[in-house]
């Protein structure tokens, strides 16, 4: 079957994607600046007090999770629209709910003083020792709830569209080709990946909404208690699935764009389909690796956390990254910003998997958990992986609008690579040295690491400033183009 | 030391990955037919998959021979016991002097929010940790081998004075 539908994106739909990416670009840059402020504070280069530091930390964490989810949703929507009919109205409703949620979060944090971290571990939102009130906590939790509701609508619409075209999720995941007697390739990789994301992230959002609602009730009815371990399970299930879904949505840019550069199709063969089906299951059951230091958890769950962490690396390394390498190898590809960033993103994702699996090893987690090793590994695959996918997609849009790369773009790409690598390895090294994460004030012996990291973060911010400026300045032209 | 091991393994594997990506990037501009590349690539991928399985499985199994959870089930084992309670933003310990060479069982809970109980050695390296949770008691057992002053620090964000949660334990000669 020819999977592509004939109608290209309408002008309104294209402009909606541009609105998503412009929002993502601006907020991403702002959150990076917040990250720089945090590192400089830890490095004693800025006089920011602990209360303000933890407010910035709360916004940085929630903001990065949210904005990467928004940007990757735009990538998924843009390419999935080629195969199924999606609703632009629902797409925009998600953006509107997101922006309202962001305003609520910012008000809760910077006006109300909420500093309970994105993890809002029960019962911290209700126990601030007088530093923020119920209203501030409710604004923050309510903002997250609203953002989750928007994403749920987004997924329900995507699910409706996929079901209308493919009949059921099994077909959309390519199970007839994988398990049945149907010969040939499965649905396009974009459809397979989107289906997986819809399944796992709907579950994640429902878990997140449950604990957010319970925490909101607890704020105003303290006698309504939640088991703290259950709360942690729900939060980390939600958090893990939600941020992983970000990567699985964003990688669609790699599946779609690299083949166009190399004239080599990325087909969903059986190995590909098996990998995505396996990932669907693994992403759901892997989350206990966040709870390896919660000894009260059932031990089988903790062992499962480690075993699944090891297994989860296989589909990424053996299928997606390997597939990208194969598609690029001796392809005669034209290297430019889009192809370069997308290729780099595959290194970022796989490179980040290494320290993640290391940390998922229980005996290592016992001395690394909640040190800077943890943000070291997730910044590796988020910064060098997902963010590279975003900007690769943005430059692809620019290219389709006939914009040529400049020397400044190319210099920024190298600066970005240098800054990001220096930054994540500063984090990882600090983790090796047992420096805790989420500390507003560091001991004197840790300060040099923070200062080195600050220099690298500044390089990243400078490079991203160029990426973002290029995109924003091109928006009027991109928004006016009828076809791109 | 597990920290050193984690760092070295990460450096080696990430460098190996980087080399592969550089190798492919340097040959990307040359052009060749895709079909032979696919055939060869799939063969190599099968070997790569099995190499990962053959290396990963023993590593996984071996790493699970030294789990830190024994104290949760091992009720009768003799140990020096230290009861620990986390509060916003301080620790209370039933005692702060223990002997080296004999197991110490920390029984850890929280009076308010989630905290993280981490033991730092005199060189400020983490040697053991667990979570301090309201309504739950997590037990961690550790045998100090070196006398000196050890620090207890909070490793789970617990509010705006989180970084101030420190206590000390004196480890004496056995």
List the one residue out of A355, A449, A212 whose CA is nearest residue B9.
A355
Query: Average pLDDT of A318-347?
Result: 95
Show the tokens assigned to A208: 């997140």
For position A47, what pLDDT does the model report?
94
Length of chain B: 174
B63/A362 touch (CB, cutoff 8 Å), yes or no:
yes
Mean pLDDT computed over every residue of chain A: 95
Instruction: Answer whether residue A322 shows pLDDT above 90.
Output: yes
* Alpha helices, DSSP H, located in A334-406: 337-359, 362-368, 373-379, 388-400
Write phi, then psi, for B109 (nearest 5 degrees): -145, -175
CA A155 to chain CA centroid, nearest Å: 16
Enumerate the residues of chain B whose CB falls inside 8 A of the CB of residue A351.
14, 17-18
By mean pLDDT, which of A111-115, A352-356, A405-409, A445-449 is the weakest? A405-409
Q: Which of A115, A325, A335 shows the shortest C-beta gap to B20? A: A325
Nearest chain A residue (CA) to B120: A434
Structure tokens at A369: 């958990």
User: What number of H helices and E strands is found in chain B?
Assistant: 3, 9
A229-255 pLDDT tens trace: 999 999 999 999 999 999 999 999 999
pLDDT tens string A457-481 = 999 999 999 999 999 999 988 888 6
Residue A4 has pLDDT above 80, yes or no: no
Rounded to an integer, what distance in angstroms lies between the CA atom of residue B52 and that of residue A26? 40
Distance from CA of A435 to the nearest CA of B (A): 9
- Please answer whether residues A467 and A25 qualify as being in contact, where contact means their C-beta atoms are separated by less than 8 angstroms: yes
Per-residue pLDDT of chain B (174 residues; tens, 9 = 90+): 899 999 999 999 999 999 999 999 999 999 999 999 999 999 999 999 999 999 999 999 999 998 999 888 877 678 899 999 999 999 999 999 999 999 999 999 999 999 999 999 999 999 999 999 999 999 999 999 999 999 999 999 999 999 999 999 999 998
Choose among A271, A358, A367: nearest Cβ to B126: A367
Tell which residue, A3, A21, A6, A122, has the closest CA to residue A67. Answer: A21
pLDDT digits (tens, 9 = 90+) for A430-448: 999 999 999 999 999 999 9
- pTM comes to 0.95
Cross-chain Cβ contact B14/A343 below 8 Å: no
Tokens of residue A484, six digits: 């791109």
Among candidate residues A415, A260, A408, the one with its CA nearest the CA of residue A338: A260
What tokens does A103 get? 């305003």
What pLDDT is stored for residue A6 in this prediction? 53
B29: nearest CB among A296, A333, A362:
A333
B120, B131, B153, best to mutate vs chain A, most A CBs in 10 Å? B131
- Comparing C-alpha atoms, which of A196, A198, A155, A205 is closest to residue A175? A196
Q: How far apart are CA B126 and CA B107, in angstroms?
A: 18
pLDDT score recorded for residue A333: 94
Q: How far is CA A244 from the centre of its chain?
A: 6
- The pLDDT score that the predictor gives to residue A2 is 53
Q: Please report residues of A whose CB lies closer than 8 A to that of B4.
A: 432
Residue A341 CB partners (closer than 8 Å, separation 6+): A388, A389, A391, A392, A395, A413
Looking at the partner chain, which of B45, B72, B137 has a beta carbon nearest the beta carbon of A318? B45
The answer to whether residue B26 neighbours chain A at the CB level (below 8 Å) is no
Tokens linked to A425: 């390895």
Q: In degrees rounded to 5, what are phi and psi of residue B86? A: -90, 140
Q: How far is B173 from chain A (nearest CA, A)?
A: 24
CA distance B141 to B121: 15
Please give, rounded to a whole number of angstroms, the shortest distance from the CA of B83 to a CA of chain A: 16
Of the residues B2, B4, B10, B53, the best mutation for testing chain A's interface (the one with the most A CB atoms within 10 Å of its CB) is: B10
* Local structure of residue A10 (DSSP, 8 states): P
Smallest Cα–Cα separation from A152: which of A86, A209, A105, A195?
A: A209
Chain A: residue nearest B157 by CA?
A438
A347–B34 C-beta distance less than 8 A: no
CA distances from A337 to A83, A345, B77 (A): 26, 12, 62
Closest residue by Cα to residue A178 from A275, A68, A72: A275
- Structure-block tokens of residue A467: 């990426």
pLDDT band at residue A313, thresholds of 50, 70 and 90?
A: confident
Check residue A484 and give its pLDDT: 47
Q: A-chain residues within 8 Å CB-CB of B66?
A: 363
Which of A128-142, A305-319, A431-445 is least confident? Answer: A305-319
Does any CB of chain A come closer than 8 Å to the CB of residue B109? no
Report the gap between the CA of A364 and the closest CA in chain B (Å): 6
Top residue of B42, B64, B113 to mutate, by most chain A CBs within 10 Å, is B113
Is the C-alpha dihedral spanning A458, A352, A285, A191 positive or negative? Answer: positive
DSSP alpha helix (H) spans, A251-290? 252-262, 270-285
Cβ-nearest to B133 among A296, A369, A445: A296
For residues A157-183, give the mean pLDDT.
96
The pair of three-digit structure tokens given for residue A243, joined into one six-digit string: 């941020």
Residue with tokens 């029960």: A122
Q: Judged by CB atoms within 8 Å, which residues 113-152 of B form the interface with A?
A: 113-114, 116, 118, 120, 124-131, 133-140
Taking alpha carbons only, the member of A460, A462, A479 closest to residue A398 is: A479
The pLDDT value given to residue B76: 65
Structure tokens that stand for B61 in this block: 């199994």
pLDDT at A481: 66
CB within 8 Å: A335 and B45: no
Structure confidence by residue, pLDDT tens digits, A9-63: 888 899 999 999 999 999 999 999 999 999 999 999 999 999 999 999 999 999 9
Report the candidate in B9, B14, B24, B27 with the shortest Cα–Cα distance to residue A348: B14
Q: Is B14 on the interface with A (CB under 8 A)?
A: yes
| Distance of alpha carbon A438 from alpha carbon A54, whole angstroms | 8
Q: Count Cβ–Cβ pairs < 8 Å, chain A vs chain B.
A: 222
């Amino acid at each position: 079957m020819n999977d592509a539908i004939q109608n290209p994106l309408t002008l309104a739909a294209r402009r909606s994607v541009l609105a998503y990416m412009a929002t993502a670009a601006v907020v991403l840059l702002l959150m990076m600046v917040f990250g720089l402020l945090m590192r400089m504070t830890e490095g004693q280069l800025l006089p920011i007090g602990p209360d303000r530091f933890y407010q910035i930390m709360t916004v940085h964490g929630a903001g990065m999770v949210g904005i990467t989810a928004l940007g990757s949703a735009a990538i998924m929507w843009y390419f999935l629209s080629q195969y199924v009919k999606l609703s632009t109205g629902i797409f925009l409703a998600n953006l509107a709910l997101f922006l309202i949620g962001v305003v609520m979060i910012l008000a809760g944090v910077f006006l109300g003083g909420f500093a309970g971290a994105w993890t809002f571990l029960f019962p911290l939102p209700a126990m601030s020792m007088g530093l923020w009130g119920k209203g501030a906590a409710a604004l923050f939790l309510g903002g997250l709830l609203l953002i989750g509701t928007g994403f749920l609508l987004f997924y329900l619409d995507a699910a409706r569209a996929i079901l209308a075209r493919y009949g059921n999720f099994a077909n959309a995941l390519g199970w007839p080709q994988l398990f049945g007697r149907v010969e040939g390739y499965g649905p396009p990789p974009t459809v397979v990946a989107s289906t997986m994301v819809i399944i796992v992230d709907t579950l994640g959002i429902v878990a997140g909404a449950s604990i957010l609602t319970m925490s909101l009730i607890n704020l105003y009815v303290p006698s309504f208690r939640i088991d703290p371990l259950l709360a942690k399970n729900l939060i980390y299930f939600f958090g893990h699935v939600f941020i992983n879904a970000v990567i699985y949505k964003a990688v669609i840019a790699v599946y779609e764009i690299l083949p166009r550069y190399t004239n080599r199709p990325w087909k969903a063969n059986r190995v590909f389909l098996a990998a995505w089906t396996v990932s669907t299951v693994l992403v759901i059951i892997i989350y206990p690796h966040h709870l390896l230091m919660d000894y009260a958890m059932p031990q089988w769950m903790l062992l499962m956390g480690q075993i699944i962490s090891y297994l989860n690396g296989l589909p990424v390394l053996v299928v997606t990254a390997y597939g990208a390498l194969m598609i690029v190898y001796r392809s005669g590809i034209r290297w430019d910003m889009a192809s370069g960033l997308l290729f780099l993103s595959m290194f970022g994702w796989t490179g980040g998997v290494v320290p993640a699996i290391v940390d998922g090893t229980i005996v290592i987690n016992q001395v690394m958990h909640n040190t800077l090793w943890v943000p070291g590994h997730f910044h590796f695959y988020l910064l060098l992986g997902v963010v590279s996918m975003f900007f690769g997609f943005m430059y692809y849009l620019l290219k389709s609008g006939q914009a040529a790369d400049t020397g400044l773009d190319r210099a920024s790409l190298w600066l970005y690579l240098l800054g990001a690598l220096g930054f994540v390895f500063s984090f990882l090294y600090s983790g090796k040295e047992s420096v805790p994460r989420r500390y507003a004030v560091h001991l004197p012996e840790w300060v040099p690491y923070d200062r080195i990291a600050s220099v690298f973060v500044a390089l990243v911010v400078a490079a991203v400033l160029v990426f973002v400026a290029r995109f924003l300045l091109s928006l009027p032209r991109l928004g006016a183009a009828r076809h791109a | 030391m597990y920290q050193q091991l984690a760092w070295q393994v990460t450096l080696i594997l990430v460098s190996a990955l980087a080399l592969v990506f550089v190798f492919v990037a340097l040959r990307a501009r040359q052009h060749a037919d895709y079909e032979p590349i696919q055939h060869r690539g799939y063969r190599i991928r099968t070997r790569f998959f099995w190499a990962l399985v053959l290396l990963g499985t023993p590593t996984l199994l071996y790493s699970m021979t030294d789990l830190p959870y024994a104290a949760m089930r091992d009720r009768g084992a003799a140990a020096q016991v230290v009861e620990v309670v986390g509060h916003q933003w301080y620790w209370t310990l039933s005692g702060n002097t223990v002997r080296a060479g004999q197991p110490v069982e920390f029984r850890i809970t929280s009076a308010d929010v989630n905290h993280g109980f981490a033991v730092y050695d005199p060189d400020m390296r983490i040697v053991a940790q667990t979570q301090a949770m309201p309504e739950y008691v997590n037990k961690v057992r550790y045998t100090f081998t070196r006398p000196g002053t050890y620090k207890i620090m909070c490793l789970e964000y617990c509010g705006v004075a989180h970084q101030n949660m420190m206590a000390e334990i004196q480890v004496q000669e056995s």
